[in-house]
Amino acid sequence: MRKKAAIYIRVSTLDQVREGYSLAAQEKALRKWCKEHGYEVYFVYADEGISGKDIDHRPGMKQLLEDVNGKRFNFIIVWSLSRFTRSVSDLYDTLELLQKYNVSFVSLTEEFDTSTAMGRAMVGICGIFAQLEREITSERISAAMEERASQGKRTCNEVLGYDLDGKDSLKINEAEAERVRYIFNKYLEYKNLSAVAELCRLKGYTGKRGRVQTAESIRKILTRPVYAGYNSYCGQIYKGNHPAIINVETYNKVQRFLEKSIVGRRLQRQYKKLNTTI
């Protein structure tokens, strides 16, 4: 088989603004390497604006692995291991697949390849550190978001009833706030999510992006503490700096009725189940 190489390139949203990480820059450097080493480029597989934390959500990577099975090339080259994957388990599974089909793997900037035992070992070690970096970054982001919430700053980017107010807060969108108040008031009147969704449909009240309201979307609106002037993050509630659309008493009253409705449905299911066994 001729020396055929598959090029894989990837950028996440953050990487796109970093010098040297653009798709075009990666492809140019990798094509140059292939030419210098006598490899014919079979295809350039690319994923743009997608995280490297797993493979399932990357169409370019999935197509690459399918073509490995088809034995369409005998070499894969990437800009760096972090462009390929940041998951250690995905890395090991992929290396096992490549070894099965005798496909070598090279990282340009880290200068190792899997055609040697030492190269395979180095890839595994680097993979562990790539995953560690991703997990540490995730922890830092989570801590930063929790700190924002504790300071009363917004924890969402889009919510019916509000517009963004700078980078930290929200301001009421009166036209949308009218829909929110209507939903809370009608639920207290009918105590039925589907009924409220139908009433919204009849009045032409939609969600933030113009979608027709459903029982589930109504439930989500009713359970958002943002409407009572609070922010939520990871199950915790924090007093927000933004103005409330409804008062706390109304919000809490709705939550009590919702809880009763959930318990009632559970009991009804249990009753039906018992009846079928008698």
pLDDT above 80: residue 7: yes
98: left (phi over 0), alpha (psi -120 to 50) or beta: alpha
**Residue 194 belongs to what H/E stretch?**
helix 193-203
Q: Give the whole-angstrom CA distance, residue 31 versus residue 38.
A: 11
Question: Could you give the CA distance from residue 209 to residue 159 in angstroms, rounded to a whole number?
Answer: 10
pLDDT at 248: 94
> For position 91, what pLDDT does the model report?
76
Task: Report the share of the chain in percent with pLDDT over 90.
Answer: 45
pLDDT at 245 over 90: yes
Q: Could you tell me which residues come within 8 angstroms of residue 253 by beta carbon, excluding any fewer than 6 positions away?
A: 188
For the record, the structure tokens of 46 come out as 């690319």
Q: How confident is the model at residue 33 (pLDDT cuts 50, 70, 90)?
A: very high
Q: Are 38 and 26 in contact (CB under 8 A)?
A: no
Q: What are the tens digits of pLDDT across the range 139-152?
A: 565 666 667 777 77
Give the pLDDT confidence of 256-271 residue by residue, as tens digits: 999 887 655 554 454 4
**Average per-residue pLDDT for the chain:** 81
* 187-202 pLDDT, tens digit each: 999 999 999 999 999 9
How distant, in Å, are the alpha carbons of 45, 98, 186, 222, 249 from that of 88? Answer: 21, 15, 51, 40, 49
Q: Pick the residue with more confidence: 149 or 48?
A: 48
Domains of the chain: 4-143 (3.40.50.1390), 153-277 (3.90.1750.20)
Give the pLDDT confidence score for residue 46 in this predicted structure: 93
**What does the alpha-carbon distance between residue 50 and residue 13 come to, in Å, rounded to a whole number?**
7
Catalytic residues: 12
Q: Under a CB-based contact definition with an 8 Å cutoff, are residues 27 and 44 in contact?
A: yes
The predicted pLDDT at position 48 comes to: 86
Calculate what percentage of the chain has a pLDDT beyond 70.
Answer: 75
pTM above 0.85, yes or no: no
Burial of 79 (0-12, 13-18, 19+ CB in 10 A): buried
